[in-house]
A and B are shown apart, each in its own frame.
Chain A
């Protein structure tokens, strides 16, 4: 079974502060990580490989430092990484086209796995868009995946309903956070990952003359000011003060 995992490097949104003078989010100098749910996609890929054998390739469109992040996925169990550096200008159209072209270049594949959404932009767009570009079936929001030799059955969490869907291969599947618990690689696995290949594929070599269709013309910070009064007295006193304050705020009843 040949499995491709699309993984994105994101900034840790919980570290973002808003610059009060410019009212812009400060995105420089905060930690970067693999988008949370992409690790679930990776874990699911490993489970499928454990069952059927095969190869797992991780594809990332990202900045050069994403190599370090790809190594984490190689340590988890991916066999090979591909890093496509972001072109000067990019948007969802550019990224999804590059991913689709990279997948075509890999050639033989049965399953493409994505996260249900990335933790920074949270669109859930790339998975179905790549499936549309490749014109292959898509299964979104999978909370369980059962891959057999010739087909896959997945249970999809659609909120007010759960939908069980079957598909032949190749198929693109987006997974939820609940599908599994991503493993933490051992030290040996981390060391071993150093010998696994990460290939650089240039954007130009995959698709020439790509232009974004959407431009971000502004990014406005949204700060949330809160009183942050925390009561640590005896419980009865704390509750007394809290209830008094809530009454003063006029929010009781």
Chain B
């Protein structure tokens, strides 16, 4: 059986598409897991998106905690004789999958970009060495756990005529000795850098949060309106929300034009922009690494370059 779980509904749809393909190849069934309150609407949606069955683990656990969720999944896996476990590769999913792998003592591959059977063995590809290579990994034991990020697989077309069973079961867990004291929603700006066609990206070369408007103005004339940033801008300085963050630990982007301003071009940033069409770099340091990863570069102070570039592009585009 192929088990599919994510706390993100859209991501679960995407996993179900791969899950049903793998389960067909194996001649087995795919099962989507819901943890928490029973939700028939959601369960039926999962079936419409390709799940053969839905397993609802009814628990008193009120919010996500890796320790407790891993225990729940462990019980389900053991009870159902699961061979493949697909988990959404967001932050919750990664720590859940890894902990589950420890508890079940099985192999786990994080962040798969492709999954298939090769010589009847479960095989997956993932990006390693900051984007310099793709490793092809093969399981030689069962079950196997794999995590997949959003947008790696396309969901199946929703089909409300698909049929499936919904199994509900109460599952008790041991209370973890860790406790969530506070959850603070950071405001996101609803930016979607992953689908953006043109991105102007800001790094630590900017001296203050207000100055980002220089990049905004350029993005505006480019009709891109999408601003990205390096990790320090989002994670250290918190000048921008996490949805702008591009790189190995942030979002992977593939715009037709990527303009990196005041970004040094460390490999972890480059890992997020390798699939871009044209890369432009603006940096005052002629030796900055970013120029090695750029198609076009201007050596100069961004405070001088950006306004001029904005004006020149405005002129050109009429």
Contact = CB atoms under 8 A, between A and B. Distances in A.
A92 B107 contact: yes
A97 B135 CA distance: 22
A13 B184 CA distance: 35
A249 interface: yes
B316 A243 contact: yes
B316 A247 contact: yes
A59 to B, nearest CB: 16
A13 B132 contact: yes
Contacts of B98: 123-129, 132
Contacts of A235: 298, 300, 304-305, 308
Contact of B133 (A93, A135, A219, A242): A219
B294 interface: yes
A200 interface: no
Contacts of B101: 92-93, 125, 129, 132
Contacts of A121: 128-129
Contacts of A231: 296-299
A139 B312 contact: no
Contacts of A187: none
Interface residues of B, number: 94
A14 B278 contact: no
A229 B312 contact: no
A240 interface: yes
Nearest to A126: B98
B279 to A, nearest CB: 6
B296 A242 contact: yes
8 contacts: A160-B243, A229-B297, A230-B291, A232-B286, A243-B309, A243-B316, A249-B278, A251-B277
B163 interface: no
B108 interface: yes
Interface string A2-24: 00000000010110101000001
B110 A246 contact: no
Given A14-B266, A120-B129, A161-B185, A132 B103 contact: yes
Given A96-B102, A253-B317, 19 more contacts: A92-B107, A121-B129, A125-B110, A132-B70, A140-B66, A140-B91, A140-B95, A159-B91, A164-B183, A166-B181, A212-B140, A213-B106, A216-B137, A219-B128, A224-B131, A228-B297, A231-B299, A240-B312, A243-B312
B138 A217 contact: yes
Given A124-B95, A138-B178, A224-B293, A131 B102 contact: yes
A246 to B, nearest CB: 7
A218 B294 contact: no
Interface in B90-138: 90-92, 94-103, 105-111, 123, 127-138
B178 A171 contact: yes
B208 interface: no
Interface string B258-299: 000000001110100010011110000010010111111111
Contact of A213 (B99, B140, B248, B278): B140
A117 B308 CA distance: 40
A245 to B, nearest CB: 6
A251 B101 CA distance: 45
Contacts of A120: 128-130
B94 A222 contact: no
B135 A219 contact: yes
A214 B107 contact: yes
Contact of A245 (B90, B296, B300): B296
**Lowest 7 CB-CB distances: which A-B pairs, in order?**
A132-B102, A213-B107, A128-B98, A167-B178, A132-B99, A218-B136, A137-B178
A68 interface: no
Contacts of B181: 153, 164-166
A202 interface: no
A16 B132 CA distance: 7
Contacts of B236: 178
Contacts of A125: 94, 97-98, 101, 108, 110
Contact of A227 (B127, B131, B136, B296): B296
Given A214-B139, A231-B296, A123 B70 contact: no
B111 A123 contact: yes
B257 to A, nearest CB: 4
A64 interface: no
B292 A228 contact: yes
Contact of A129 (B90, B108, B280, B317): B108
B129 A16 contact: yes
A249 B268 CA distance: 27
B18 interface: no
A168 interface: yes
A128 B104 CA distance: 13
Nearest to B180: A165
A221 interface: yes
A177 interface: yes
Contacts of B198: 251
